[in-house]
Amino acid sequence: MVSQEESEARRFAAGWFTQKEAPMEENEFHVDMREVYARRRRMRRRKRLKRTLVLGTCLAALMAALIVFSPWGPGKNLFFGRESMGAERAGETRPAGGRSSGDIAPLPGDEDGGEPQGGDAEALPARKEKTSDPSPPTVAIVVDDTGGDVANLERWLAVDAPVTFAVMPHYQASAQAAERLYAAGYRIMMHIPTENDPPNSFSGTGQLSVGMGRDSVFATLDGDLATVPHATGINNHQGGRGCNDYQLMRYMCEWAKECGFFVVDSNSSARSQVTRASQDLGFPRRSNQVFIDHHNEPDTIREAMRRLARIARQEGTAIGICHFQRPNTPAVVGEMIRALRAEGIHFAFVQDISN
């Protein structure tokens, strides 16, 4: 049997251990909770930092994308490409230098200036393009230097044939001449000033010059085109030096291809590289064969037109170039078109044939 003293001793010992252990367990519990709270606070701080970093990265990426793909950024051609520009240029009118048509003095016969205003104005008649007949034998005529002197405008408007007018950029009357001619049913192309041999190397504002890089050529031609509405093709103005430079003409033809334009080699130089550059890019050959009014005497113009007819009969097509401002040209060219049509020669826009 266990004595009373042993029982009391055991109860005392049990109570002592119970009293000792209880505070230790409580103390250990409080230490664990502090660690838990601290760990939770650290996790919350990490989550906030992570969210901040993710948000900052997204904002930086968005800002970079806005800059890169803006109309002025290095990726502008992705959303503001030249194909869409070419479609706009071919189908819309853009006044010279960004000015409204009211800022430019109207041409003769256009004194009312611009589009009709108000509900009482009569609607303009729909444009009817001149009939183009590319079936052989056919002749295409390009009229260079359009847009400077407008004295001959009404004489050219009297020529009933599919003539293509090559309009000089940046001339005072470039935009309005192009508008009048296009509305009358003719087609428009841009006549690009190109560097001549020295000492008279300058051929006009917006000139292409030897040594220009691709970006410079493209920017220059974009500026030129802003002054020539309705253009669908290009040829060169002068350019005895520039047209001989293959790389310069290659850049020019690359720009034309991105715009969806056709290319005509004016053959202003015996060593012109325009045909070679354009054909290397897949363009059909369109090359001037006769300068119609190199001398402006009526009989000389008549003989040049007959020479074009002979080439057309032999080769199927012929392309000739004359000049807008020369006094005898529009009347004699119109006369010869009527005469040659009676002899079986057809006439077409230069865009519709090749040679």
> What is the pLDDT at residue 7?
60
Domain boundaries, the chain: 1-74, 96-102+129-352
84 pLDDT tier (thresholds 50, 70, 90)? very low
Domain covering 96-102+129-352 assigned CATH 3.20.20.370 in the classification: yes
Phi–psi pair at 322, nearest 5 degrees: -130, -170
Give dist(CA 355, CA 319) in Å, integer: 8
> What is the pLDDT at residue 115?
41
Percent of the chain with pLDDT over 90: 59
Q: Are 242 and 265 in contact (CB under 8 A)?
A: no
Asked if the model's pLDDT at residue 14 lies above 90, the reply is no
Instruction: Collect all residues with Cβ–Cβ distance below 8 Å to 98 and sequence separation of at least 6.
Output: 226
Asked if the model's pLDDT at residue 107 lies above 80, the reply is no
> What is the pLDDT at residue 54?
82
Q: Are 252 and 234 in contact (CB under 8 A)?
A: yes
> What is the pLDDT at residue 320?
98
Q: What is the mean pLDDT of residues 171-178?
A: 94
* Least confident range of 34-38, 164-168, 253-257: 34-38
Most confident segment among 14-23, 90-99, 114-123: 14-23
Is the model more confident about 134 or about 14? 134
Return the SS3 of 191.
strand
4 pLDDT tier (thresholds 50, 70, 90)? low
Instruction: Give the model confidence (pLDDT) of 278-336 as tens digits.
Output: 999 999 999 999 999 999 999 999 999 999 999 999 999 999 999 999 999 999 999 99
Asked if the model's pLDDT at residue 96 lies above 70, the reply is no
Whether pTM exceeds 0.85 = no
* Least confident range of 145-154, 155-164, 279-288: 145-154
Instruction: Collect all residues with Cβ–Cβ distance below 8 Å to 32 and sequence separation of at least 6.
Output: none
Instruction: Give the model confidence (pLDDT) of 47-67 as tens digits.
Output: 788 888 888 888 888 887 777
